[in-house]
A = this chain, B = another copy of it.
Amino acid sequence: MEHKPLTSIDRLSLNQITTDRWSLREAVEGSVRADIPWIALWRHKVAETGLAESRRLVRDAGLRVSSLCRGGMFPAASVEERRAKIDDNRRAVDEAAELGADVLVLVCGPAPDKDIAGARRMVEEGIAKLAPYAESCGVRLGIEPLHPMYAAERSVINTLAQANAIAEQYSPNQVGVVVDVFHVWWDPELYSQIERARGRILGFHVSDWIVPTPDLLMGRGMMGDGVIDLRRIRHAVEDAGYDGPIEVEIFNQAIWDRPGDEVLSLMKERYLQHC
């Protein structure tokens, strides 16, 4: 089966972590200079700039917000802590709604102890508590499975199968999944789980897995610099009905250290070459 390249950047989104040294204002202005139509925002960047001002900057620039990163982090040792986390997630939903982001990305959180199965149940409970509120605000929750190497520190949801099993308990208007190639490329069930997610894919994130991998967190590569079959995965999510924005989300110190305009230029080039 032939997999055709993309011919325009009309679905390209800058996940602003890719230009981590830029403020939200700088990321917005850089995206406009580069003709990139979408942007994904992070809550800590929005907080630095202020919610109302962030909203104004994005709207005035004519950008569309592909997602807000991130809600989640549900498991905790006590009922009080778990309740506080739900409260924080409600605020994240409010911010997403205010910013015009259809999707709040959920990084579901690590276990507070050695009981990973228990932590997974806490994630399910947290999403159950959050979903009705999110729907009432017009924000969908996108469960992003994280690579198993983050199971102890960032999320106990580590496969698309897990994310699908939770999302299927809800209407697609409430909860879906986010497919980030860096987290799922290795999965033997990748293509069957993408197909299973049909109608529930709320986001698609690209980067690459570089070899040798220099670091657990900061080791992501620019598209084309690694071993991931990006185009095949993109076609699979499209075959499963997804035609939304494609976010470039890269944690990599060498990329962060480069001037943002250069990164956006390279990103556009690699997007058309490799995605």
Contacts and interface: CB of A to CB of B under 8 A. Distances in A.
Given A114-B227, A116-B229, A227-B111, A153 B188 contact: no
A148 interface: yes
Nearest to A213: B216
A229 B188 contact: no
Contacts of A74: none
Interface stretch (A28-36, A44-52, A157-165): A157-165
A271 interface: no
Contacts of A149: 147-149, 213, 216
A184 to B, nearest CB: 9
Interface in A187-237: 187-188, 209, 211-213, 215-216, 226-229
Contact of A213 (B153, B156, B161, B185): B153
A151 B186 contact: yes
Contacts of A111: 227
A65 to B, nearest CB: 31
A115 interface: yes
A114 B148 contact: no
A162 B186 CA distance: 12
Interface in A72-92: none
- Ranked nearest first, the 7 interchain pairs of A and B with the lowest CB-CB distance are A151-B186, A149-B149, A148-B186, A114-B229, A148-B148, A152-B227, A152-B211
